[in-house]
A and B are shown apart, each in its own frame.
Chain A
Amino acid sequence: MRYITFALAKGRLAKQTLSLLEKIGITCEEMKDEKTRKLIFANEELGFRFFLSKAADVPTYVELGAADIGVVGKDTILEEGRKLYEVLDLNCGKCRMCVAGPASAKELLNNGSLIRVASKYPGIAKDYFYNKKHQTVEIIKLNGSVELAPIVGLSEVIVDIVETGSTLKENGLEVLEEICPLSARVVVNEVSMKMQHERITKLLKELKKVIPK
């Protein structure tokens, strides 16, 4: 039997995914050992392999066929813009992609002025401002703590993931516009979907039944 290989985005999402998989009888004991240094884990009986990678790399592994199935946030899928089948919404890790900033920045979003936008997601930010709002902006790519940018004057607004909004609030920022809702998705490689059709659709069907509502 050929392996079906899963690429999972490191962190909370991977744990949630594994517990979902466990509910449909797909387990991976090796992976639960927190101290292990192994990079790839297998369930030989069922013919599954799993590995963890940085979220942004999951679409790459899946597009190029190194993994058959991936589990990753919608934010990453949008940002990476890879050719993938996006087959299932896992309905967890729910949050929103938003434009945020100080309340005073709100009018800058409506008068078409050239503003600076800081984000970890330059692709999403660009698509939103250029193709949806038709506003020319300067995008500044940051790698973390994006909330800092409007506070220290690096940018007027930011584009970032908002879960509860408490980090924004504590720093005197607020959600100005919502770009789209986000959640964890199951993605499948185009060729795997064809060549391993039976096993993958069976798995997806079972998985669909145990997704939290």
Chain B
Amino acid sequence: MSISGNGAQRRELLHTPGGVRDIYGAECARKKEIEQKVHDVIRSYGFRDIQTPTFEYFDVFNKERGTVQSKEMFKFFDRGNNTLVLRPDVTPPIARCVAKYCRDEQLQIRLCYTGNTFVNTRPYKGKLQEVTQVGAELFNDDTSDADAEMIAVMIQCLKSSGLREFQLEIGHADLFRGLAEEAGFDREKTEELRGLISSKNFFGVEELLDKTKVSGKVREIFAKLPELLGNLPECLAYVRERTENERVLSALDRLEKVWAILGLYGLCDYVTIDFSMLSKYSYYTGVIFRAYTYGNGEALATGGRYDGLVGQFGKEAPAIGLAIVIDQLMVAMERQKLFEKNPFGGCILLYPQAVRKEALLLAEQYRDKGQTVQMLRKSSKKTLEVYREYAKRMDAEKLLYLGEDGKLTSYDIG
């Protein structure tokens, strides 16, 4: 049979653009549930919800304020010809809000959010361009307690989602900055070095150090960087013996303190320290951390201290934040087979027209008790069997049938 022109056209309307997708059925139910669980954990630490617009002025995210390159943002223009972008990240808007609405607050400000972010990556990269993030930001607190607490929050969030095997990696942005400073690198060389270390290309690092004739103790530290993880006291001692750079030393002190506090939380098992950890985001100024698990190719949650960001919006305020990419978490849980079947449940109440009034009353009673009830008027042309099949397709737990005689029969489904 030939496809009519009209039919083909309609089928074309069914597609979504590359990089975005529909989330429906059981997957959507699970996603909502995980979002809720993660959000509940964050709320329990005293964070207050905030919502910022889906699109904002380009400048809010540009340069050192952003985590995404200009060409990877979705841009468009408003009627005044200003450049707008779909937010690639939620942290800069929240920093903007803090500078705007909490100008005079000197003590802690805790804000959290759930929202979608958009990154305009090249096509065919196998990556989503729209993802949901749940995150938290803590302002006006530059203590190691705040650092450790945010790391603890991230761990608790991931645990609450049902994920079992995961690892957090912790580093410090100033370790790299201090070492590059001590090696006497200019901006260009520092960026080259950043690229090499962030791709763990340590033979490339050696080449660069050869070329620039860096020697002595800094060189020893660079050479040892890939091994500086795991055993914290040993790593600390190794670097401390070989540098007097203040930035590096204070970064080391901070990591040591954070580690000790994480010990009090009893969470050290989830954490490894990695001195060569770097962030491509230059806005981080202190502790940085990332969470990994089996089953997906990149970090599923990231966080770090960014003491300079709010200042760019006009209020000096230290800050630390974390964001969990729910879609990444979902992929990992799917691949690790951590989802239980039938996340929807609830029951379907089937009734013929004759007992409508009774059925409505009954449904209200169930809902008052917290039960989910889906009403469905039975057509006299369809058999009960048809509806039982339907209930199965819908992942319902039960099919309730209220007969014309007022008798209620319950069928377990699945």
Cβ-neighbour of B292 out of A62, A64, A194 (below 8 A): A194
| CB-based contact A64/B204 at 8 Å | no
Assuming the contacts A194-B167, A194-B169, A195-B167, asked whether A89 and B297 have C-beta atoms less than 8 A apart, the reply is no
Q: Does A188 contact B (CB under 8 A)?
A: yes
6 A-B pairs within 8 Å (CB atoms) are namely A60-B126, A65-B295, A85-B199, A85-B200, A86-B199, A194-B167
> In the complex, what residue of chain A is closest to B166 when comparing beta carbons?
A195
Per-residue A-contact encoding for B11-25, CB less than 8 Å = 1, 0 else = 000000000000000
Question: Contacts A64-B297, A194-B167 hold; do A87 and B292 have CB atoms under 8 A apart?
Answer: no
Shortest Cβ distance from B74 into chain A, in angstroms? 20
Q: Smallest CB–CB gap between A25 and chain B, Å? A: 23
A190 to B199 alpha-carbon distance, docked (Å): 9
Say how far B125's CB is from chain A's closest CB, in angstroms: 8
Chain A residues contacting B165 (CB-CB under 8 Å) are 195
A191→B201 contact, CB < 8 A: no
Inter-chain CA distance A76–B204, complex, in Å, is: 17
Contact residues of B between 304 and 318, Cβ < 8 Å to A? none
Interface membership of B57, Cβ < 8 A: no
Give complex CA distance A193, B297 in Å: 10
Complex Cα spacing A88 to B200, Å: 9
Pair B203/A88 contact, Cβ less than 8 Å: yes
The residue of chain A having its C-beta at the shortest distance from the C-beta of B295 within the complex is A65
Q: Is chain A's binding surface mostly helix, strand, loop or mixed?
A: mixed
Q: Which of A84, A88, A191 has the largest count of B CB atoms less than 10 A from its CB? A: A191
With A60-B126, A63-B297, A83-B298 as contacts: A191 and B292 at CB distance below 8 Å: yes
Binary B-proximity of A90-124 (CB < 8 A = 1, otherwise 0): 00000000000000000000000000000000000
Q: A191 is contacted by which of B199, B200, B293 (Cβ under 8 Å)?
A: B293
User: How far is A83 from B279 in the complex, measured between Cα atoms in Å?
Assistant: 13
Residues of chain B with a CB closer than 8 A to A37's CB = none
Give a binary string over B202-245; 1 marks a CB under 8 Å from any A CB, 0 the rest. 11100000000000000000000000000000000000000000
* B299 at the binding interface (Cβ < 8 Å): yes
Please provide the chain A residues from 14 to 67 with a CB less than 8 Å away from any CB of chain B in the complex.
60, 62-66
Give chain A residues whose Cβ lies under 8 Å from the Cβ of B295: 65
Q: Is A155's beta carbon under 8 Å from chain B?
A: no
Distance of A66 Cα from B331 Cα, bound (Å):
13
Partner of A64, one of B126, B201, B272: B126
B385-399 interface bits toward A, Cβ cutoff 8 Å, 1 = contact, 0 = none? 000000000000000
A87 and B293 form a contact (CB under 8 A): no
Q: Which A residue's beta carbon lies closest to that of B169? A: A194
**Is residue B294 within 8 Å, beta carbon to beta carbon, of the partner chain?**
yes
Considering the complex, give the chain B residue whose CB is closest to the CB of A83: B298
Residues of chain A within 8 A (CB-CB) of B202 are 87
